[in-house]
Chain A
Amino acid sequence: MYRIALKMLFGDRTKYIILISALTFSALLMTEQAAVFCGMMRFSTAMLRNSFAKIWVVDTKVEQANELVSMRDIELYRVRSVKGVKWAMPISMTMIAAKTPSGRFLNVQLVGLDPSTLAGAPRTMLEGSLENIFQPKSVIIDQLGVERFSQYQKEPVKVGDHFEINDLEARVVGICKAERSFYNAPYIYTTYDQSIEYRPKQLRMLSYILAEPEEGLSAAEVARNIEAATGLKAYTENEFFWSTIWWIFRNTGIPISFGTAILLGLFVGIVVSGQTFYSFVIENIAHFGVLKAMGVSNRVLLMMLLVQALTVGFIGLGLGIGAASIFGYIFYSKGFPPFFLTVHLFFAVAVSILLISLFTVFLSVRRISAYEPAEVFRG
Chain B
Amino acid sequence: MKTPVVTLQNVQKSYSSAGETVHALKNVSLEVFPGELLIIVGPSGSGKTTLLSVIGGTLFYDAGEIISYGHNLGTLSHEELCEYRKQHVGFVFQQFHLLSSLTAAENVATPLLIRNMEFSKAVERAGEALAQVGLGDKTKRLPKELSGGEQQRVAIARALVHEPDLIISDEPTSNLDAKTGAGIIELMRDIARVNGRSLVVVTHDMRILKYADCVVQMDDGIIVSIVNNGQN
Chain A residues near B (Cβ < 8 Å): 1, 3-4, 7-8, 10-12, 286-287, 289-298, 300, 372-374, 376-379
A11 touching B101, Cβ below 8 Å: yes
B93 touching A377, Cβ below 8 Å: yes
Chain B residues near A (Cβ < 8 Å): 49-50, 52-53, 56, 58-59, 78-79, 82-87, 89, 91, 93-95, 97, 99-102, 106, 110-111, 113-114, 119, 170
17 new A-B contacts, CB < 8 A, other than A4-B106, A296-B114, A374-B53, are A4-B113, A7-B102, A8-B101, A286-B95, A291-B114, A294-B91, A294-B110, A294-B111, A295-B84, A295-B86, A295-B114, A296-B82, A300-B114, A372-B58, A374-B56, A374-B58, A377-B52
Q: Which residues of A contact B50 (CB under 8 A)?
A: 374
A3 touching B119, Cβ below 8 Å: yes
Q: Which residues of B contact A290 (CB under 8 A)?
A: 91, 93, 97, 99
B85 touching A1, Cβ below 8 Å: no
A295 touching B101, Cβ below 8 Å: no
Residue from A3, A4, A289, A292 having most chain B Cβ neighbours under 10 A: A4
In whole angstroms, how far apart are the Cα atoms of A4 and B116 in the complex? 12
With contacts defined as CB atoms under 8 Å apart, how many contacts are there between chain A and chain B in the complex? Answer: 86
Question: Which residue of chain A lies nearest to B48 when distances are taken between CB atoms in the complex?
Answer: A377
A377 touching B79, Cβ below 8 Å: no
Q: Which residues of B contact A4 (CB under 8 A)?
A: 99, 102, 106, 110, 113
Which of B78, B85, B101, B102 is within 8 Å of A294, CB to CB? B85
A10 touching B101, Cβ below 8 Å: yes
Which of A1, A8, A300, A374 is within 8 Å of B59, CB to CB? A374
In whole angstroms, how far apart are the Cα atoms of A291 and B109 in the complex? 12
Which of A1, A10, A289, A374 is within 8 Å of B114, CB to CB? A1
Question: Which residue of chain B lies nearest to A1 when distances are taken between CB atoms in the complex?
Answer: B113
Q: Which residues of B contact A376 (CB under 8 A)?
A: 58, 91, 93, 97
Q: Which residues of A contact B59 (CB under 8 A)?
A: 372-374
29 contacts between A and B (CB under 8 A): A3-B113, A4-B110, A7-B99, A7-B102, A8-B101, A10-B101, A12-B101, A287-B99, A290-B93, A294-B85, A295-B86, A295-B87, A295-B89, A296-B82, A296-B114, A300-B114, A372-B58, A373-B58, A373-B59, A373-B85, A374-B59, A376-B58, A376-B97, A377-B53, A377-B58, A377-B93, A377-B94, A378-B49, A379-B94
The 3 closest A-B pairs by CB, nearest first: A11-B101, A295-B86, A374-B53
Q: Which residues of A contact B85 (CB under 8 A)?
A: 293-295, 373
In whole angstroms, how far apart are the Cα atoms of A291 and B114 in the complex? 9
Q: Which residues of A contact B78 (CB under 8 A)?
A: 297-298
A297 touching B53, Cβ below 8 Å: no
Q: Which residues of B contact A3 (CB under 8 A)?
A: 113, 119
In whole angstroms, how far apart are the Cα atoms of A270 and B100 in the complex? 27
Question: Which residue of chain A lies nearest to B52 when distances are taken between CB atoms in the complex?
Answer: A377
Instruction: Determine how close the nearest CB of chain A comes to the CB of B59; give it in whole angstroms.
Output: 4
